[in-house]
Structure 1
């Protein structure tokens, strides 16, 4: 579990490379700093009240847990021989804290790609702490901590189809973060992109990735780290972890091919950016389903995710919102597909109800997955909007002159490349 947590933590620097490569030269440092800044703020907040809000035992209306119950990890860190035990595996609870903080970090860091090149760094740092408090920790509690979107007898799923032995008869499935991570980050990115507004020249300027090798290296690190994300969510070295590993690989490979095929048919070329983006789309889509589908189902989920996301990235041009690095097209769309696809492909043999393709009353699981996804979308949209307006007095946008010259120099007094520094001095 410690190795899995370390792999997930590596994903955020991997994301920094992925997003940094997709940015323009004059924005790459700021783009990477947004990921690193999230690592700093969220780790501090998580130790103080994030773990308590997400997984504490004192539930508040099914929405979040009491942030003061385990404030500062009270009751988690014990003297030798008196460690609090994990409810997930045969190890101390402090290991769960380490694992779960990495999820909170990467989720918030993902949002940064939707608002690249135009947001004040200070406002972003404050936003990361506020957003995880108002949005991520509650949603983690609702889905994984026994709240409204989980499998408890007071959950929405229980209200839909009743309970058995004190739990929802048809329990929702989110193995490693389809709702908590990807729908959450994707919807937050969409809301911020709309409210903050477009970059200068959007629709007139071609925003080209400045370093495609960075993008591919970032995608490779994300794929590597994702094994901690998905296999680690089995909370042990067991068959479920092995299944999640195989399904993660299968779906990702199929999604990359699906994206490239879509590009080839639509544009006549299969690109390196498409390969890297397809990898991420597949990883996103299989995340909620990794422990509940057969590898053949994982191949289908991935292939559809690759094609669907390749088409979805054009939505920003059609509807006029500036999702700079395609957070909506990849994370929201693939996250929604992967979460809902469980209702079709869940085999029913891995401690879940069967999906529609596996007979019986599979339609019920499909209904539950759709309802849970919709609830997550609405909750995130509301809470992200609240965060935006709370921080509006700080100022979200950098000055137009600074945006035109480059956010790296304006916000960090640095440049990534010597030719930029010479241009600024000249």
Structure 2
């Protein structure tokens, strides 16, 4: 890898890491003022824990070929001592850091479903086991060249493969399904009903959404540093972001366009449904668009990405209402935005992926592959998260006492207040 591509890869790693504080701000603004520290600490706790686990054995589990494309060997290079002294150590270790940022944010996203009522210690135990059992394995399924999802098309004798460029399945469907499971395990907040829980700091929500959009260009386009020019072209074997046929420009434009369109889609639905478009809705629409374009950013023409954004923004704006009708308390709409948005973006490729989508020169194969990958990850993540959450709740307890929840859990759990008012 040349110095330019390496520099971009390091910058993309920093951008994606910055997204988790963005999640902390976004979620922190949505909860009540006396729970903001607890909410933000769950994101920062994930940053600390998951990065350590990833370096010790998580990266090995994603990349090593151990058991039929299903599970990598965590002990293949425990602590990465061999990699650190290898011939290509700089590039390889940067790849480890880049992968760590994806693992971190996937776990952090789940926390929004249990806002205002979760114990920090229990959350950290859940994060440890969920990352180990679920994310490290699922990431290997999707992105390891030996992973079963990566090779699903070949296995079925199809002419194409599953498309998930940056994490529609491994990140967003994965986190959204786990969020639904934990919301069911912990139950509803005290006084759960529509309109009773309002965001305490809308500017903080907008700041978080802006940071997420900023960092998402690294999230989607970072891996383009490894782009290899097709055989027979004038590009180098590893030509990177500026190489012949590189998808980097398309990825950047689609990340911009789909997100912008999703803001409009969400705002239109709010206007028609409630009479007023809101700032929180615009921020949520942006996140929905980012989620939807994640798996498809390199495989859609710009016009189709705009349509995807409109659809994702509108559908997610409606999907967040499901918790009131179905009676599950997903505090900050992780299910409605990340699970639903991830499903939309993943399945949309089955219809509109360039060259392979049902309506763009392909056949039903792409849609079948996308559906199998999405449903499998959804079910696996839900089951793992539900079992882990249930065991933690029934043993050491996952949810705080009702009186602590009503008072606000920041001082009880962390001994701090988000806002100290001085006379």
Q: Given the two structures, how large is their TM-score scaled by the length of structure 1?
A: 0.90
The 5 A counterparts of 1:301-340 are: 301-340=308-347
Aligned Cα root-mean-square deviation (Å): 1.5
Is 1:158 the counterpart of 2:131? The answer is no
Counterpart residue number, 1:237: 241
Is 1:386 the counterpart of 2:421? The answer is no
Distance 2:223 2:262 in 1: 21
Distance 1:382 1:145 in 2: 23
The 5 A counterparts of 1:21-420 are: 21-56=29-64, 58-78=65-85, 82-84=87-89, 92-152=91-151, 156-162=152-158, 169-203=159-193, 206-235=196-225, 236-238=240-242, 239-348=246-355, 354-359=356-361, 361-392=362-393, 393-419=395-421
| Count of matched residue pairs | 397
Counterpart residue number, 2:19: 11
Distance 1:390 1:69 in 2: 30
Mapped contact 1:149–1:372 kept (Cα < 8 A): no
- Greater mean deviation of Cα atoms: 105-114 or 123-132: 123-132
Distance 1:28 1:43 in 2: 23
The C-alpha deviation readout for 1:119-150, integer Å capped at 9, x for no partner, is: 11001111111111000000001111135543
Shift of 1:159: 3.2
Mapped contact 1:149–1:172 kept (Cα < 8 A): no
Mapped contact 2:194–2:324 kept (Cα < 8 A): no
Distance 2:144 2:71 in 1: 8
Distance 1:355 1:403 in 2: 48
The C-alpha deviation readout for 1:396-426, integer Å capped at 9, x for no partner, is: 011111111111011011111234x99xxxx
- Greater mean deviation of Cα atoms: 195-204 or 134-143: 195-204
Distance 1:204 1:386 in 2: 28
Mapped contact 1:64–1:147 kept (Cα < 8 A): no
Secondary structure, in 3 states, of the residue corresponding to 1:65? coil
| Unaligned ranges ≥5, structure 1 | 85-90, 163-168, 349-353
Distance 1:386 1:199 in 2: 21
Q: Given the two structures, how large is their TM-score scaled by the length of structure 2?
A: 0.91
- Greater mean deviation of Cα atoms: 226-235 or 280-289: 226-235
Distance 2:314 2:195 in 1: 26
Mapped contact 1:59–1:147 kept (Cα < 8 A): no
| Unaligned ranges ≥5, structure 2 | 1-8, 226-239
The C-alpha deviation readout for 1:231-282, integer Å capped at 9, x for no partner, is: 1132342331111100000000000000001101111101101100000000
